[in-house]
């Protein structure tokens, strides 16, 4: 099922999401819905809080050779010294783009849909995508990582409720 995506500054995007403890049909349905919603909106990653579900689940499809991935209870366990920045956007902030400093490579530990522990190294775009989506699980969006002036500048294009946006952006 394709869900509506919460758009900033919806308070649902500010919550710290809860860990998943049940690896059941509900979780599989949530992951299916996340993929469906992501593909319908041409995203390359989406986190459960973006569809109003405050659980630590993200799905990503950055065109990796081994296919799309679903990460349950993901945690970054190692990061590179090297920093990169891509022009990032977010399904929850339509038409807003900015370069954000991220680790060029990370190691992420997570569980699969059966609850089995998994670990993988991610580099470049996939690394950026994982960091962006994990921020959503902690109530952060990418503009929170910008300096105040840059944030105001990029948000001047945002098609939201003008007053709420300016208040929340400062
Ligand atoms: Zn996002």
Distance 8 CA to ligand 1 centre (A): 10
What the chain holds in terms of domains, given with CATH numbers, is 11-161 (3.90.45.10)
So what's the pLDDT on residue 149? 94
Confidence check: pLDDT of 1 > 50:
yes
So what's the pLDDT on residue 160? 66
Predicted confidence (pLDDT) per residue in 18-58, tens digit: 999 999 999 999 999 999 999 999 999 999 999 999 999 99
So what's the pLDDT on residue 161? 54
- Which residue carries 């995508």 as its tokens? 129
So what's the pLDDT on residue 157? 73
Give the predicted TM-score (pTM) of the model: 0.92
Distance 108 CA to ligand 1 centre (A): 18
Q: How many CB atoms lie within 10 A of CB 85?
A: 12
- E-strand ranges in the chain read 45-47, 57-60, 69-79, 83-90, 93-103, 105-111, 117-123
Distance 136 CA to ligand 1 centre (A): 7
Tokens linked to 72:
């349950």
For residues 161 and 98, which has the higher predicted lDDT (pLDDT)? 98
133 is catalytic: yes
So what's the pLDDT on residue 105? 98
Instruction: Please answer whether residues 120 and 92 qualify as being in contact, where contact means their C-beta atoms are separated by less than 8 angstroms.
Output: no
Residue 116's Cβ-count burial label (10 Å; 0-12, 13-18, 19+) is exposed
Distance 22 CA to ligand 1 centre (A): 25
The two beta strands, 69-79 and 57-60, are antiparallel
Predicted confidence (pLDDT) per residue in 87-138, tens digit: 999 999 999 999 999 999 999 999 999 999 999 999 999 999 999 999 999 9
Which position among 75, 133, 150, 163 bears the catalytic label?
133
């Amino acid at each position: 099922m394709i869900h509506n995506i919460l758009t900033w500054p919806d308070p649902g995007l500010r919550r710290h999401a809860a860990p998943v403890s049940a690896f059941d049909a509900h979780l599989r349905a949530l992951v299916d819905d996340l993929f469906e919603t992501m593909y319908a909106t041409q995203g390359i990653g989406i986190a459960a809080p973006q569809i109003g579900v405050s659980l630590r689940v993200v799905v990503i499809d950055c065109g990796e050779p081994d296919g799309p991935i679903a990460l349950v209870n993901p945690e970054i366990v190692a990061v590179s010294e090297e920093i990169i920045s891509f022009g990032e956007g977010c399904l929850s902030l339509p038409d807003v783009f900015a370069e954000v400093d991220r680790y060029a490579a990370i190691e992420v530990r997570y569980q699969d849909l059966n609850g089995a522990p998994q670990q993988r190294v991610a580099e470049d775009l996939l690394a950026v995508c994982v960091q962006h989506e994990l921020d959503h699980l902690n109530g952060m969006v990418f503009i929170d990582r910008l300096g105040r002036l840059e944030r105001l500048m990029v948000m001047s294009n945002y098609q939201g409720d003008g007053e709420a946006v300016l208040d929340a952006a400062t």
